[in-house]
Amino acid sequence: MSRYRGARLRICRRLGDLPGLTRKKTKKQAPAGEHGQQSRKPSEYALRLEEKQKLKFNYGLNERQLLNNIKTAKKVQGSTGLILLQILEMRLDNTIFRLGLSPTIPAARQLVNHRHILVNNKIVSICSYQCKPGDIITIKNKTASIALVKQYMNFPGLANRPNHLELNKDTLSGKVNGIVEREWIALQINELLVVEYYSRK
């Protein structure tokens, strides 16, 4: 299944606030669809599926990418759910979004794909690149690249920058100082349900 390119607010109405997907807010409260008004008690499977869908849509992943990240997280000692969230948060596209250099993760992905982003003075065009403590993220020294990022910075997606990142607005450069902590992850999610979803498949 390819990356979702449909209506974003429709997904937010179903799954709740997804800060990485869109900055827009909907006035409609009920889930989208013909039967959105009906209230039903969700099954345990439905709850686990919903949490998994939040991760997929917020970080812009397809099923195979998310499954590979789960497998990677299971190989690392510690809480699989927390490690999974840290892997996703340390992706380059998400790091650019959390630095405030783009309003959404799809916008950050476009910056990376169009080769506007340098990591440690080298162009990186892979969105899933895992940022490490000490990495310096800068914008390509081109007028178009700088103008685009400055335009994006006028409309930040999130007000708070996590404490593992620092940004120099004068030079448009960011630095990764460490691994993100759980309380700084903006997405409201129960990661244990995601791990359960994949462990039962």
Per residue in 118-170, pLDDT (tens digit) is: 999 999 999 999 999 999 999 999 999 999 998 888 876 676 788 899 999 88
Query: What CATH class is the domain 8-87+184-199?
Result: mainly alpha
Query: What CATH class is the domain 91-178?
Result: alpha beta
Q: Give the pLDDT confidence score for residue 6 in this predicted structure.
A: 61
Domain ranges of the chain: 8-87+184-199, 91-178
Q: Which two tokens stand for residue 89?
A: 């948060």
Q: How do the pLDDT tens digits run along the chain, 201 residues long?
A: 456 666 666 666 666 666 666 655 656 555 555 555 556 677 888 888 888 888 888 888 888 999 999 999 999 998 999 999 999 999 999 999 999 898 888 889 999 999 999 999 999 999 999 999 999 999 999 999 999 998 888 876 676 788 899 999 888 899 999 999 988 888 888 889 998 888 876
Please tell me whether residue 139 adopts helix, strand or coil conformation: strand
Who contacts 13 (Cβ-Cβ below 8 Å, separation ≥6)? 26, 28, 29, 30, 31, 32, 36
Q: Which two tokens stand for residue 186?
A: 């903006």
Q: Is 175 left (phi over 0), alpha (psi -120 to 50) or beta?
A: beta
